[in-house]
């Protein structure tokens, strides 16, 4: 396993590892420990991602079906060396990490006594309800309550299994301003031709840690008031950890739709962050994540 860490000053750092099973966040109780994580924000040795997948992680859609990353390979530096980190010179040096995500997992349900829940009609309905959850805010609370109650009664839990479809998505992270400005560039070449209809670049950290949403239009929302996958119209928005005084923010990026969300449901969901939705009919897509807080 290769682990790369970018020190941001103070106690903050960003970390990425090439292996979901051995990644630093693998010890968490959340079902997403099976997924490949992206850049994780640390305060000292404390991982602030919780159930979230981290920053700059591609997710693929084929219609209503979502395909998640199961592995990552850190690439050798552009200079040809074995180190996956490359640093350029200049007054404001840029440090880069190049990675290739293997997207090959789908979400499934598992029985308490082992074995999966297999009916195709169930998963078609599940995908449709997930889409409804995103589109109709008024239904989110009752849908979540019904899902949680049903899982408890039936003894079902979330798991991830190999998908019938898979794709490799190269992503490059370029760090400036001491690592606190991260440009994320995803290579989307060939995804539309392979039948994928949407790419979502996920930027999720922990819901216990990041409890406040604010944006440049004056919105200030805390806890459940933040909602789930609502469209952001402000020029820039951020999630804030009021306990630590740390935040991460994204700006509007042409050619994409920016959404915000936060969910905290027992030991199953604990994420807060942004998704940038992009049609895969382009060669690459780039955006910036900023880390704000004590230096």
**Burial code of 201-233, b = ≥16 C-beta within 10 A, e = fewer?**
bbbbbbbebbbbbbbeeeeebeeeebebbeebe
Position of tokens 């979400």?
107
How far, in Å, CA of 131 to CA of 146, rounded? 15
Residue 159's pLDDT is: 79
Residue 197's SS3 state is coil
Residue 34's pLDDT is: 86
In this structure, is the dihedral angle defined by the CA atoms of residues 41, 240, 206 and 75, taken in order, positive or negative? negative
Q: Which residues have CB under 8 Å from 71's CB, separation 6+?
A: 18, 19, 20, 36, 101, 102, 104
Residue 171's pLDDT is: 98
Which residue ranges make up each domain of the chain? Answer: 3-106+165-292
Q: Would you give per-residue pLDDT tens digits along the chain (295 residues)?
A: 788 999 999 899 999 998 644 444 445 677 788 899 999 999 999 999 999 999 999 999 998 889 999 999 998 544 334 455 566 555 566 899 999 999 999 988 765 555 555 555 554 555 555 555 555 555 555 655 545 544 444 445 677 889 999 999 999 999 999 999 999 999 999 999 999 999 999 999 999 999 999 999 999 999 989 988 899 999 999 999 999 999 999 999 999 999 999 999 877 789 999 999 999 987 999 999 999 998 6
Helix ranges (H only) for the chain are 120-135, 140-154
How far, in Å, CA of 102 to CA of 192, rounded? 16
Model-level pTM greater than 0.75? yes
- Of the CA atoms within 13 Å of residue 63, those in its CB half-sphere come to 4
Q: Which CATH architecture has domain 3-106+165-292?
A: Distorted Sandwich (2.70)
Residue 21's pLDDT is: 45
């Amino acid at each position: 396993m290769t682990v790369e860490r970018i020190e941001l000053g103070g106690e903050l750092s960003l970390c990425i590892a090439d292996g979901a099973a051995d990644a630093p966040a693998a010890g968490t109780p959340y079902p997403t420990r099976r997924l490949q994580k992206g850049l994780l924000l640390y305060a000292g040795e404390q991982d602030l991602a919780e159930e979230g997948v981290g920053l700059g992680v591609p997710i693929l859609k084929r219609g209503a079906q979502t395909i998640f990353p199961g592995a990552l390979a850190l690439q050798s530096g552009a200079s040809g060396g074995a180190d996956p980190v490359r640093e350029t010179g200049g007054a404001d040096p840029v440090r880069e990490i190049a990675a290739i995500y293997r997207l090959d997992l789908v979400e499934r349900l598992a029985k308490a006594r082992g074995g999966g829940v297999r009916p195709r009609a169930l998963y078609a309905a599940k995908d449709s309800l997930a889409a409804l959850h995103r589109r109709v805010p008024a239904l989110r609370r009752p849908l979540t309550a019904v899902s949680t109650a049903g899982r408890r009664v039936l003894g079902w839990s979330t798991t991830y299994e190999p998908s019938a479809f898979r794709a490799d998505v190269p992503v490059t992270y370029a760090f400036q301003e001491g690592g606190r400005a991260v440009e994320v560039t995803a290579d989307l070449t060939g995804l539309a031709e392979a039948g994928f209809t949407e790419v979502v670049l996920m930027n999720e950290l922990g819901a216990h840690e990041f409890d406040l949403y604010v944006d440049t239009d004056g919105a200030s929302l805390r806890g459940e008031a933040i909602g789930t996958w609502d469209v952001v119209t402000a020029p820039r928005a951020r999630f804030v950890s009021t306990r630590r005084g740390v935040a991460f923010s994204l700006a509007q990026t042409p050619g994409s739709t920016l959404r915000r969300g936060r969910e905290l449901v027992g030991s199953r969901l604990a994420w807060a962050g942004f998704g940038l939705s992009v049609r895969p009919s382009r060669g690459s897509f780039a955006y910036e994540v900023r880390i704000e807080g004590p230096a």
